[in-house]
Amino acid sequence: MCGHALKVLWAPWRMSYIVKGSLEECIFCKAVKGGDDENYVVVRSKHSIAMLNIFPYNTAHVMIAPVRHVARVEQLTHEEVLDLFEVLSRIIKAIDQEYDPQGYNIGVNVGRVAGAGIESHIHVHVVPRWLGDTNFMPVIAGTKVMPEDLRNTYTRLRNRILSQDTAR
């Protein structure tokens, strides 16, 4: 950080997540069994679940996981793969309509050395990108600015997806 002291950005809304449970509990399995609002679930399908990342890289950062607890892509059935990509398509359409990003980073991290924070349950990250979303703040100040409250993002995306469902 160029010899500068790291700045602190207070994020007290994250404490409830920290004290709720450890990473020993699979967040995707918990979301499959639990309620949508408390787990930030924006889509449920027969074989997949899509939820907001509560530690997002950008606004509307969504993670899509199979309902079944598997660690690797090749362990998924054909139906699960198809369903996961159909949910991915729905998520992209909803984010496009609600946030109008200029691009996406979409990826799967398999294994800890590849960056997987949760190795035991495969999931796809969908990160919307805008020109200028990476600016001087992380580099100079060591701080990432999130322009929208997570609860507002959840409400906006969930409502957009529900309106798509009724339009089908």
Q: Are strands 41-44 and 103-107 parallel, antiparallel or unpaired?
A: unpaired
Q: What are phi and psi of 80, to 5 degrees?
A: -65, -40
The gap between the terminal CA atoms of the chain, to the nearest Å, is: 50
**Given this model, what pLDDT does residue 167 score?**
78
Q: In the structure encoding, which two tokens stand for residue 136, read together?
A: 């001087």
**Given this model, what pLDDT does residue 142 score?**
65
Q: Are strands 103-107 and 62-66 parallel, antiparallel or unpaired?
A: unpaired
Strand ranges inside the chain, DSSP E: 41-44, 48-52, 62-66, 103-107, 124-129
Type of residue at 48: S
The C-alpha atoms of residue 44 and residue 110 are separated, in whole angstroms, by 23
Reply yes or no on whether 123 is catalytic: yes
**Beta carbons of 153 and 13 less than 8 angstroms apart:** no
In a structure prediction context, what are the per-residue pLDDT tens digits for the chain, which is 168 residues long?
A: 455 566 666 666 666 545 554 456 899 999 999 999 999 999 999 999 999 999 888 999 999 999 999 999 999 999 999 999 999 999 999 999 999 999 999 999 888 887 778 889 999 999 999 987 776 555 555 666 677 889 999 999 999 999 988 877
Say which CATH topology domain 21-157 has: HIT family, subunit A (3.30.428)
**Given this model, what pLDDT does residue 92 score?**
98
Which one is catalytic: 47, 61, 121, 123? Answer: 123
**Given this model, what pLDDT does residue 132 score?**
77
